[in-house]
């Protein structure tokens, strides 16, 4: 599967799952849908960025570091907007980025070379 598409799908799914865990916090349960959508959007953005990086840079280690970094930065922004829960949001957010970074490098397929005669 194409690296960007893989990043988007994986980021979206993991982001949505990440948002669904808000159900276990009773005080925010009423906002679950908004949290899931927001979290999924965060995952999708992370997936695109990590997928594009994986397409440009073919390195498992750098892919993981970049994924972790993107996940942490996006999670930090979300936590900053919520004025708190930095640890609870950034730790899983960073892990999601790390997983997407690993998966895009490991399982994503590189683009086909362009035929010079075309």
What is the binding site for other proteins (CB under 8 A)? Answer: 14, 18, 21, 24-25, 88, 91-92, 95-96, 98-99, 102-103, 106-107
As measured in angstroms, the least distance from the Cβ of 29 to other proteins is 13
- Select 37 or 60, whichever has its Cβ closest to other proteins: 60
- Select 20 or 77, whichever has its Cβ closest to other proteins: 20
Rg, Å, the chain Cα set: 16
As measured in angstroms, the least distance from the Cβ of 59 to other proteins is 16
d(CA 74, CA 19): 14
Distances (CA, A) of 81 to 73, 84, 86, 89, 112: 12, 8, 10, 11, 41
- Select 4 or 15, whichever has its Cβ closest to other proteins: 15
As measured in angstroms, the least distance from the Cβ of 102 to other proteins is 6
- Select 34 or 106, whichever has its Cβ closest to other proteins: 106
The conformation of residue 58, written as its DSSP 8-state character, comes to -
Report yes or no: 39 and 16 within 8 Å, Cβ to Cβ.
yes
Quickly tell me which residue has 């570091």 as its tokens. Answer: 65
């Amino acid at each position: 599967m194409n690296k960007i598409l893989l990043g988007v799908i994986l980021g979206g799914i993991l982001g949505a799952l990440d948002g669904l865990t808000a159900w276990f916090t009773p005080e925010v349960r009423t906002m679950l849908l908004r949290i899931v959508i927001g979290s999924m959007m965060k995952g999708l953005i992370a997936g695109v960025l990590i997928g594009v990086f994986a397409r440009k840079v073919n390195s498992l280690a750098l892919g993981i570091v970049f994924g972790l970094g993107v996940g942490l930065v996006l999670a930090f922004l979300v936590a900053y907007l919520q004025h708190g829960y930095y640890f609870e949001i950034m730790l899983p957010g960073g892990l999601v980025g790390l997983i997407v970074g690993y998966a895009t490098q490991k399982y994503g397929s590189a683009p086909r070379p362009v035929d010079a005669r075309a």
